[in-house]
Structure 1
Amino acid sequence: MTKTTDFIPQEYTQKLTEKGSFQWSAPSNIALVKYWGKKENQIPANPSISFTLNNCKTITKLEFEPKKSTSKDFAFDLFLDGKPKEDFKPKMQKFFERIEVYLPFLKDYHFTISTENTFPHSSGIASSASGMGAMAVNFMSIEKLFNPEMTEEYFWQKASFLARLGSGSACRSIKGSVVVWGETESIENSSDLFGVEFLETIHPNFQNYQDTILLVDKGEKVVSSTVGHELMHNHPFAQQRFEQAHDNLARMKQILTDGNLQKFVELVESEALTLHAMMMTSMPYFILMKPNTLEIINKIWKYRQQTDIQVCFTLDAGANVHILYPNNSKDKVLQFIKNELIVYCQNQQYICDEIGIGSFKLN
């Protein structure tokens, strides 16, 4: 079984004195079975499974050069869309501190981080997942220069491990179209330390699965996900919820291999509402859904009943609605979205996405 110490490198075989750069793209992801609540060191309180997205991604270029000074601090500049982004720096500083023991070269270099998202920032799409995912694969590319014998398996596993230390769900944005994070009986080799690819054969019903994201509210959340996770510690229903997530993940494994769309719809919507129920029953309690979120949900239920098209919704920790549906229903569902749902979106904005394959290196 993999331990955290397995990711602390022994002596590197190569010295690196040159400057250089890498550029990677990493996607966002949407959880089908939700993770809510965590232990120390970004360990999830329950397992989760997600679809990796294709179009909503972060592209990050990481330039590095040996430091001229003997300073023992981390040295980095951070740019978002070409402009300095000072308010991101504390989060990045914390990330460097958490991963330093696993990447001992970090204090020897000055890094320039240039990042951009293909989706609007603060649109309620998990940019921390794609952003930290992109940082992790860039750092692993540098480590591979120090250790050229590194195996591909180790590269991807450690990238997911590092990404998790930046943002929990980022470990599900590294590799694979369906990813499981968190140790659970039903998934072989599952781990709390990193995400693992779902290796069962996925039924054709779920290939090219579509996700259209309705941007209901692009403002800052009233309660951050970090605070929300903390509130699970003394939550009256926490234990039952954690057990339910294990059961639901086992059920989702069966659904994805059998191709039962009706059961998929029921489980995904139930999980989304359970996530928000945990927020509404924590102390202090809070609601992240907006009136328009509920309007959209009701419209989806009505449309599904009238047409028998297996379209469903899921929610992250926010007001926006992800509409999931099979590729063969795409034209009809998009027409429904344009006719009936965009009126509930901020500035009528929505993003069309689909299942992707994870992060990749750009030339």
Structure 2
Amino acid sequence: MISTHFVPSVYSHQKKEGKVTWKAPSNIALVKYWGKKENQIPANPSISFTLDACATTTTVSYKKLENRSPEFSIDLFFEGKPKEDFRPKIESFFNRIEPYLPFLKEYIFIVETSNSFPHSSGIASSASGMAALALCLMSLEKELNPEMSSDFFNQKASFLARLGSGSACRSIEGDLIQWGEHKEIIGSSDLFAIKYPFKVHSVFKNYFDTILLVDKGQKQVSSSVGHNLMHNHPFSEKRFKQAHVNLKGLQSVFEKGDLDKFIEIVESEALTLHAMMMTSLPYFMLMKPNTLNIINKIWEFRKATNTHICFTLDAGANVHVLYPENEKDVVFQFIKDELVVYCEEQQYICDRIGFGAKQL
């Protein structure tokens, strides 16, 4: 099904060749998206903090062909070296977005990409990678249609990024981004992400995220397979309702700066995500023993110190440790003293809330 809103009419300008670079951040979901319908439509709404340090930088060079090609012409490089194993995913992405960017077979593209975090670190790069690529292609479309507004540019970039990787739609802007229709969030959409429209207390404006790399290996199960296992899941409908309830609950949390309730919702969401994986068929366990060791240590430390440290998890073993800026010194000391020992090769990444992608 084509969303006609993003299908362009005739372009007013031409562009023979050019080069554009975007840096797009990763993001960490607070209310999780798990389960999707056709065309990358989420089964439930989600909300995320946009990150800052964990980012993908992508440069797209393009040159117009004499005649339109029957195939896509793409050369792919990752961190300076040819990367042919990216091709199936990128060509699949181009196929999905071609109705919205009808010029894609009229150019030769050279795509050069790199991550600010190690590729094998267990940090999902699909969100930042697809967001950066979508933004580069939108920059070319803006050359062909200079009248395009910046709001439409961001909205369409989010829409396109979603067709590459669902969570990528939350990596265009910052700092708090919501994706998926929710009856009480005006402007919310399954097709693209929006900036969270309600009041947010200052305590959430400078949040820190230290990512503990418990397991840097390949995930046991791809996200696509995991999402599909929600179709016949015995608890899926309850889960989707829970996401709506938690998103509603966060509205007063964000407005009042209620850190205790924030912790309750965010940790519950992380554990529910993994409970869904453990109760699907086939079932799987992505947490490792050291994931659990870290969680228990966080709970003990929080109880002993009355700090507002908490954790969240993606679909993997690594732990995102979240904490407000005014507690960063004591919490980070605890992380170094007691948690880093549980990381593979004692590796971790220091990150914090960011404010979206940047053109370089």
- Same-fold status (TM-score > 0.5): yes
Unaligned runs of 5+ in 2: none
Asked whether the 8 Å contact 1:129–1:168 carries over to 2, the reply is yes
Question: In 2, Cα distance between the equivalents of 1:122 and 1:81?
Answer: 13
Q: Choose the corresponding residue for 1:313, options 299, 311, 314.
A: 311
Aligned to 1:13: 12
Question: In 2, Cα distance between the equivalents of 1:61 and 1:161?
Answer: 20
Residue 199 (structure 1) shift: 2.3
Residue 70 (structure 1) shift: 4.9
Aligned to 2:233: 235
TM-score where L is the length of structure 1:
0.98
Aligned partner letter, 1:336: F
Write the deviation string for residues 207-228 of structure 1: whole angstroms up to 9, x where unpaired. Answer: 2100000000000011111100
SS of aligned partner of 2:218: coil
Question: In 2, Cα distance between the equivalents of 1:89 and 1:71?
Answer: 17
Question: In 2, Cα distance between the equivalents of 1:178 and 1:105?
Answer: 33
The count of aligned residue pairs is 359
- Residue 324 of structure 2 is aligned to residue 326 of structure 1: yes
Question: In 1, Cα distance between the equivalents of 2:118 and 2:14?
Answer: 40
Aligned to 1:255: 253
Asked whether the 8 Å contact 1:300–1:311 carries over to 2, the reply is yes
SS of aligned partner of 2:356: coil
SS of aligned partner of 1:110: strand
Residue 125 (structure 1) shift: 1.6
Unaligned runs of 5+ in 1: none
Residue 122 (structure 1) shift: 3.0
Aligned partner letter, 2:279: T
Residue 60 (structure 1) shift: 0.5
Question: In 2, Cα distance between the equivalents of 1:61 and 1:123?
Answer: 22
Asked whether the 8 Å contact 1:29–1:126 carries over to 2, the reply is no
Question: In 2, Cα distance between the equivalents of 1:258 and 1:56?
Answer: 29
Residue 69 (structure 1) shift: 5.9
Q: Which moved more, 1:145-154 or 1:40-49?
A: 145-154
Question: In 1, Cα distance between the equivalents of 2:200 and 2:118?
Answer: 31
Aligned partner letter, 2:305: T
Write the deviation string for residues 8-62 of structure 1: whole angstroms up to 9, x where unpaired. Answer: 001111122x210100000000000000000000000000000000110000001
Question: In 2, Cα distance between the equivalents of 1:69 and 1:218?
Answer: 45
Write the deviation string for residues 281-303 of structure 1: whole angstroms up to 9, x where unpaired. Answer: 00000000000000000000000
SS of aligned partner of 1:188: coil
Aligned to 2:3: 4
Write the deviation string for residues 285-333 of structure 1: whole angstroms up to 9, x where unpaired. Answer: 0000000000000000000000000100000000000000000111111
Question: In 2, Cα distance between the equivalents of 1:141 and 1:253?
Answer: 34
Question: In 1, Cα distance between the equivalents of 2:40 and 2:33?
Answer: 11
Question: In 1, Cα distance between the equivalents of 2:187 and 2:145?
Answer: 25
Q: % of aligned pairs identical?
A: 64
Q: 1:87-126 counterparts in 2 under 5 A?
A: 87-126=85-124
Q: Which moved more, 1:351-360 or 1:59-68?
A: 59-68
Q: Choose the corresponding residue for 1:44, options 31, 42, 45.
A: 42
Residue 203 (structure 1) shift: 0.4
Aligned partner letter, 1:361: Q
Aligned to 1:85: 83
Question: In 1, Cα distance between the equivalents of 2:162 and 2:140?
Answer: 18
Question: In 2, Cα distance between the equivalents of 1:83 and 1:197?
Answer: 36
Asked whether the 8 Å contact 2:67–2:106 carries over to 1, the reply is no
Aligned partner letter, 2:10: E
Asked whether the 8 Å contact 1:186–1:249 carries over to 2, the reply is no
Aligned to 1:338: 336
Asked whether the 8 Å contact 1:103–1:143 carries over to 2, the reply is yes
Residue 126 (structure 1) shift: 2.2
Aligned to 2:164: 166
Q: 1:50-65 counterparts in 2 under 5 A?
A: 50-65=48-63
Aligned to 1:209: 207
Asked whether the 8 Å contact 2:185–2:197 carries over to 1, the reply is no
Aligned partner letter, 1:15: Q
Question: In 2, Cα distance between the equivalents of 1:68 and 1:155?
Answer: 28
Aligned to 1:142: 140
Residue 124 (structure 1) shift: 2.1
Asked whether the 8 Å contact 1:78–1:112 carries over to 2, the reply is yes
Aligned partner letter, 1:14: H
Aligned to 2:296: 298
Question: In 2, Cα distance between the equivalents of 1:68 and 1:149?
Answer: 26
Aligned to 1:280: 278
- Residue 252 of structure 2 is aligned to residue 246 of structure 1: no
TM-score where L is the length of structure 2:
0.98
Asked whether the 8 Å contact 2:17–2:63 carries over to 1, the reply is yes
Residue 67 (structure 1) shift: 2.3
Residue 359 (structure 1) shift: 0.5
SS of aligned partner of 1:233: coil
